[in-house]
Amino acid sequence: MSEIRVVQNLLKHNDEIAAMNRQRLHDAGVFCIDLIGSPGCGKTSLLEATMRRLNQRMNIGVIAGDLATDRDAQRIQACGAKVVQINTGKGCHLDANQVRHALDGIELESLDLLIIENVGNLICPVGFDLGQDAKVGMFSVCEGDDKAAKHPHLVCAADVLLLNKTDLHKHVRFNREVFIKDMRTLNPAVELIELSVVQGNLDRWISWLTSKIQAARSNNTAVAIMP
């Protein structure tokens, strides 16, 4: 029982800090996503490509989580983002307190979008609210068509799901209908965006992202002019 209580207390404490992060980001008019996917599904490549598409039009910040190395931070910084790297050591996910400290190192008022690239892991990050506006789940066709069914918690928690590496579909065994059927059974409403980061067909992703950012800006302005 004491073990269960400790876990419950940790999650409650996490949620309280996440709520503070969320308020802070909303006050600054920043739209924030938590990007969750397995190691090598293409999260960092997606961020690089997203930066190249959007960094002339808006300011983007990134918090990059990894057990070790600052390789992701270096790659993303080279594309013009303001990056804070969090090395978690043996930690399998980011938590709200780590994000709170990372936010201290970012000038939020200058940002339009903050992307939190979570530690490569389809399981543990799902349960930890970080203060994001949207959870983005990412799979790739190389991982096999059973991954939606095998990771129901992510599929149910996600606001949008990305299916990457469609350029490799012809080289791997991946039954698209099976994947989509499993996904729809778990979360009938979730939006699926299929893309190939290396081929650069990111239009639907960019469109989804910019519409959310504009909505966040409008809300922020609306609140600001309310009495």
Q: Which of residues 36-65 bind a copy of itself (CB under 8 A)?
A: 38-40
| 68 forms part of the interface with a copy of itself (CB under 8 A) | yes
Selected binder of a copy of itself within 61, 120, 131, 137 (CB under 8 A):
120
| 121 forms part of the interface with a copy of itself (CB under 8 A) | yes
Query: DSSP string spanning 9-69?
Result: HHHHHHHHHHHHHHHHHHHTT-EEEEEEE-TTSSHHHHHHHHHHHHTTTS-EEEEEEESS-
Of the listed pieces 14-22, 54-62, 68-76, 97-105, which binds a copy of itself according to CB under 8 A?
68-76
Q: Which is nearer to a copy of itself, 108 or 198 (CB)?
A: 198
Q: Quote the least distance from Cβ 87 to a copy of itself, whole Å.
A: 10
Q: Quote the least distance from Cβ 121 to a copy of itself, whole Å.
A: 6
**Sign of dihedral through CA atoms 193, 197, 198, 199?**
positive
| 98 forms part of the interface with a copy of itself (CB under 8 A) | no
Binding map of a copy of itself across residues 147-186, x = CB under 8 A, - = no contact: x-xxxxx-----------x-xx--xxx-------------
- For residue 40, the tally of other CB atoms under 10 A from its CB is 13
Query: Which burial class, exposed, middle or buried, applies to 20 when counting CB atoms under 10 A from its CB (0-12, 13-18, 19+)?
Result: middle
Sequence-ordered alpha helix ranges (H) in the chain: 2-27, 43-54, 71-77, 96-104, 147-150, 152-157, 176-186, 203-225
For strands 160-164 and 60-66, give the pairing. unpaired
Q: Using CB under 8 A as the criterion, which residues of the chain lie in contact with a copy of itself when the complex forms?
A: 2-3, 6, 10, 38-40, 66-69, 71, 90, 92, 119-124, 126-127, 140, 142-144, 146-147, 149-153, 165, 167-168, 171-173, 198
